[in-house]
A and B are shown apart, each in its own frame.
Chain A
Amino acid sequence: MVSLGLAVTAGFPDVTAEHPYYGAINDLASRGIISGKPDGKFYPDYPVMRQQFAKMIVKTMGHPVPPDIECPFTDVLDPDPTSTDPLYPGKYVAVCALHGITLGKTETTFDPYSSIQRFQVLSMVVRAVDEVRPGLLVTPPGSFTPTWDPAASPQHGLNAARAEYNGLLAGINLTGLDPFGPMSRGEIAQVLHNVLVKIESSTTTTTTISPVWENVGGLCFTSPAAATWGANRLDVFVGGPFDHLWHNSWNGTSWFGWDDLGDITTGDPDAVSWGPGRIDVVWPFASGATQVRWKYWEAGAWHPGGTVAFVAADTGPGICSQDEGRLDLFGVNPSGGLGHRSYAGAWEVAWENLGGLILSNPAAASWAFGRLDVFVRGPLNHLWHNSWNGTSWFGWDDLGGTLASGPAAVARAPQTLDVFRCLCSLHG
């Protein structure tokens, strides 16, 4: 019977005020991170299974546990039918893997029932703190001699030394303790208490948020468009004097200055970059019907792309890119509803109609190939969202708000396969 989590604490008869971990155990119990056994005792000298520790560290770090996350390890029950917690142990172990707290025993196994060793606890704790507070656990100076020889374990030795130097083992008499031996419930409570004290004392020195904005100048008669092709590079576009499209760029140090691109725009532009040295800009041009015009920056020069589509009067396009060489254009279909067409070497010639009552220009973002998210102001002046999962559109989803404008959307994603794989397992 596993009884972590739901905590009802009135002190534990086997943890008296003289017990070395009395304060830590009661602190964690009061936070609902640990609890006693069914007989009301805590059993501070008992070992902890690896899957039990996974739940403890997830609760200590306050990580959300999505009920649909899939556990990457085949030897972990998901769920354990004998547990009252439907998330235990599979979901907690999966969250540990998602946050890089555990690397598993192998790629597909976790060894959930073994007693967790002191060295293993310290590695998982150090990884967990490094993720949420990078730099908080400093590297020990060369003059520091850890209690346990780091050379004893290439995998855990340096993590344990860093944990000790940063006070995560405070209150534990390490003399005579085997780093490869099972860590007791009491010792683990003390370590997790030390982690919480360390993190909470660091948050008192938060930086102040700046409410001020940088004035980039210009004379803007439309809403802006922004794109980036990599670190320290920004390109912005607005409709300005003479109804022309104007451009400015940031190189990491300064703004280049406003540059007249000469094209007539009668509404809001949008822009995207699919990679270094490439920018695609689209804007509306009303001459009778409203056209979407396109140009792109490549090989150090602007290239005209001509007219790509027609949209409803007084509306403008939204654009994003799923991958190099790919564009996805959105606009209000002249016959109503949101239109979508994609570019992969050539533009599709007709709108795919996603329907909806569209009250603003669309904004689109893509966080991976095969994934599109598009947002508009719709009924009730709420934000409405539709997404493409590579196979089908999800349908319009009401995200609320009291909007007076169209949206802007951005996906923040590292370009690594690992993250992509995690996401696939999260979303089916």
Chain B
Amino acid sequence: MSLDVFARFTDNYIYERSYSFSAGGWSEWTRVPSTMTFQGDPAACSWGTNRIDLFAVGSDNHLYHKWWNGSTWLT
């Protein structure tokens, strides 16, 4: 159970910060592991506690996607 917030930082990588209800606090900002940089705002959605789908637009104007399975980021 958590709240997850994503944003593009000034280095154009996407960063994440999470609020854990069981721990009662916010994590530090961490960079989403990435081979590429982005433009604009990211978007995210979730269908369960162990799933986040994250989207962002690359410099080629294509949409890019990766997902979190509860313990790691996958493509």
Contact = CB atoms under 8 A, between A and B. Distances in A.
Contact of B23 (A64, A206, A402): A64
A405 B16 CA distance: 13
A37 interface: no
Best-surrounded residue of A207, A228, A231 (most CB of chain B within 10 A): A228
A220 interface: yes
A66 B24 contact: yes
Interface in A63-99: 63-64, 66, 68-69, 98-99
Contact of A412 (B2, B9, B17, B26): B2
A254 interface: no
Given A224-B43, A268-B40, A216 B65 contact: yes
Interface string A355-384: 000001101010100000101010001010
A13 interface: no
A222 interface: yes
A363 B61 contact: no
A229 B21 CA distance: 23
Interface in A369-416: 373, 375, 377, 381, 383, 385, 399-414
B5 A210 contact: no
A186 B38 CA distance: 56
Interface string B19-44: 01111111001000111100011111
A411 B46 contact: yes
A408 B35 contact: no
B74 to A, nearest CB: 5
Best-surrounded residue of B7, B17, B35 (most CB of chain A within 10 A): B7
Interface residues of A, number: 72
A224 B5 contact: no
Contacts of A232: 47
Contact of A423 (B1, B5, B9): B1
Contact of A406 (B26, B41, B58): B41
Interface in A139-198: none
Given A407-B5, A410-B46, A400 B41 contact: no
A325 B61 CA distance: 34
Contacts of A426: 21-22, 24
Interface string A331-362: 00000000000000000000000000000110
Contact of B75 (A99, A214, A219): A214
Contact of B3 (A63, A208, A236, A410): A410
B41 A360 contact: yes
Going nearest first, the 8 A-B pairs with the smallest beta carbon separation are: A66-B24, A405-B8, A223-B40, A213-B64, A223-B41, A406-B41, A211-B33, A226-B43
Given A224-B63, A375-B5, A383-B17, 13 more contacts: A66-B24, A208-B72, A212-B35, A213-B36, A214-B66, A219-B62, A225-B43, A226-B44, A373-B3, A401-B15, A403-B9, A410-B52, A412-B1
Interface of A: 63-64, 66, 68-69, 98-99, 206-234, 236, 238, 248, 268, 270, 360-361, 363, 365, 367, 373, 375, 377, 381, 383, 385, 399-414, 419, 423, 426-427
Interface of B: 1-10, 12, 15, 17, 20-26, 29, 33-36, 40-58, 61-66, 71-75
